[in-house]
Amino acid sequence: MRIILLGSPGAGKGTQAKFITDHYHIPQISTGDMLRTAVNQGTAVGLQAKAMMDAGQLVPDAVIIALVEDRISNADCKNGFLFDGFPRTLPQAEAIRKNHILIDFVIEIAVDDEEIVKRLSGRRIHPGSGRIYHLIYNPPRIPNKDDVTGEDLIQREDDCEETVRERLQVYRRQTKPLIDYYQDWQRRGDEGAPHFIQVNGQAEVLEVRDRILAELSKSAS
């Protein structure tokens, strides 16, 4: 089961990725994880990537693809893998295809922008413990105070409405075209085209999980 998971920030990809990887006993792989592992292991590609990052340069797609090929050759990927946050762009998607890295399913967790803004901008955090609250879905007993210590809660800069909307714009610009790419590929019926699955991410968490697993089971049979 080789899966690409797509969705905007706050769509619930992390939660659903855990459900999927536990169900199919496959690893969740992100670009950041691959880079850190390769650098820590001192592989040739890892050292090349580290030199670029140390120089403040973006790691080119060719290096990312080499990291991917190294990572999925590991024993824990024998039953498949789930890519989270990769590919991010059309050139990366094309590179996956040209390098014959087979993908079985592309799953999009679809959530409206305004729901994403509501989800993320409503989060509040207790800095000392990392406890997370939400003004609507999980409010503290006393507004803006931690339930345990009574200390002030904060809003992370990443969760400010203006920042959330900027992140969504970046997603639409860079990553949303991937949805069209994989949908078109499936429609053409080309050899090796992955199944594209779109799931409404605004349902309850367990309902989203059940829909994803049902679609994967149906498409794989």
- The label of the residue with tokens 């040739």 reads 44
E strand or H helix that includes residue 84: strand 81-84
Stretch 24-49: mean pLDDT? 86
The encoded tokens of residue 27 equal 């690893």
Please compute the mean of the pLDDT values over residues 179-195 and round it to a whole number.
91
CB atoms within 10 A of CB 67: 25
Who wins on pLDDT, 89 or 209?
209
Question: In angstroms, rounded to a whole number, what is the distance separating the alpha carbons of residues 186 and 105?
Answer: 10
Q: What is the mean pLDDT of residues 182-186?
A: 94
Q: Is 88 one of the annotated binding-site residues?
A: yes
pLDDT band at 201 (very low <50, low <70, confident <90, very high): very high
Record the tokens describing residue 78, joined without a space. 């024998």
Q: How many C-beta atoms lie closer than 10 Å to residue 65's C-beta?
A: 19
| 33 closest CA partner among 1, 74, 2 | 74
Task: Write the CA distances from 130 to 64, 89, 195, integer angstroms.
Answer: 32, 32, 38
Which tokens in the block code for residue 103?
Answer: 């993908």
Q: How far apart (Å, rounded) are the C-alpha atoms in residues 209 and 82?
A: 15
Mean pLDDT of the chain: 91
Q: Residue 66 has what pLDDT?
A: 87
Q: Determine if residue 21 is labeled as part of a ligand binding site.
A: no
User: DSSP class of residue 7?
Assistant: -
Query: What are 63's two structure tokens?
Result: 């290096």
Pair of tokens at residue 42 = 């001192």
pLDDT of residue 42: 85
* DSSP-assigned letter for residue 158: G
Domains and CATH numbers, the chain: 2-111+176-219 (3.40.50.300)
> Is 31 known as a binding-site position?
yes
pLDDT band at 221 (very low <50, low <70, confident <90, very high): low
The answer to whether 13 is annotated as binding is yes
Report, as residue numbers or ranges, the catalytic residues.
13, 88, 123, 156, 167
Residue 36 assigned as binding residue:
yes
Look up residue 175 and give its amino acid: T
What type of residue is 143? P
pLDDT digits (tens, 9 = 90+) for 139-158: 999 999 999 999 999 999 98
C-alpha span between 25 and 40 (Å, rounded): 25
Question: How do residues 6-34 score in pLDDT, each as one tens digit?
Answer: 999 899 998 999 999 999 999 999 888 88
Q: How far apart are CA 19 and CA 25, in angstroms?
A: 10
